[in-house]
């Protein structure tokens, strides 16, 4: 979805008298819910952030891509999520979408802990190759 849902300024009517409009919050939520239910991904960005989303779309449209774990997190509340992968998975990538900074840890079955801090400056998806 390319939208300016979070824009605060109103758009002026064009030369034809038709007002351009952004996608409503309800419409955006519908796409997000559909993507989550189908194991897909909805990426909502403004035109200025489109280059960030393009990389995610290209990565996720590659052959043999499998979604192992997907969750929608309640903003402002810490959560722990556990999922197991085996040695047959290769080239794993974690996609994290949000509007604020995030700290998280990945722990291997051997107990090795890797900590990450993501500084997100706008609503976009960040990816980490594991």
Residue 67 located in a structural domain: yes
Q: What is the pTM of this model?
A: 0.44
State the Cα–Cα distance between residues 128 and 106, nearest whole angstrom: 11
Please indicate, yes or no, if residue 60 is contained in any of the structural domains: yes
pLDDT at residue 107, as a whole number = 81
Q: How far is CA 57 from CA 3, 10, 17, 87, 119, in A?
A: 16, 29, 35, 25, 21
Does residue 81 lie within any of the structural domains? Answer: yes
| Domains contained in the chain, number | 1
SS (H, E, C) 2-57: ECCCCCCCCCCECCCCCECCCCCHHHHHHHHHHHHHCCCCCCCECHHHHHHHHHHH
pLDDT at 10: 45
Residue 36 CB partners (closer than 8 Å, separation 6+)? 42, 70, 72
Listed range (31-35, 51-55, 73-77, 124-128) with the worst mean pLDDT: 124-128
Q: How do residues 38-87 score in pLDDT, each as one tens digit?
A: 777 777 777 887 887 787 777 767 666 777 887 777 777 778 888 788 77
* Domain extent at residue 51: 25-129
Residue 71 DSSP SS3? coil
Report if residue 111 sits inside a domain: yes
Indicate whether 112 pLDDT > 80: yes
Specify the pLDDT at position 9: 44
């Amino acid at each position: 979805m390319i939208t300016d849902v979070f824009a605060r300024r109103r758009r002026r009517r064009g030369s034809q008298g038709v007002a351009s409009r952004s996608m409503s919050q309800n419409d955006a939520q519908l796409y997000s819910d559909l993507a989550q239910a189908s194991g897909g991904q909805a990426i909502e960005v403004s035109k200025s952030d489109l280059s960030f989303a393009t990389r995610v779309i290209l990565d996720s449209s590659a052959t043999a891509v499998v979604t192992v774990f997907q969750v929608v997190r309640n903003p402002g509340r810490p959560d722990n999520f556990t999922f197991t992968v085996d040695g047959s998975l290769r080239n794993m990538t974690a996609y994290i979408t949000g509007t604020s900074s995030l700290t998280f840890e990945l722990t291997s079955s051997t107990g090795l802990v890797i900590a990450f801090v993501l500084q997100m400056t706008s609503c976009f998806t960040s990816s980490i190759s594991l």
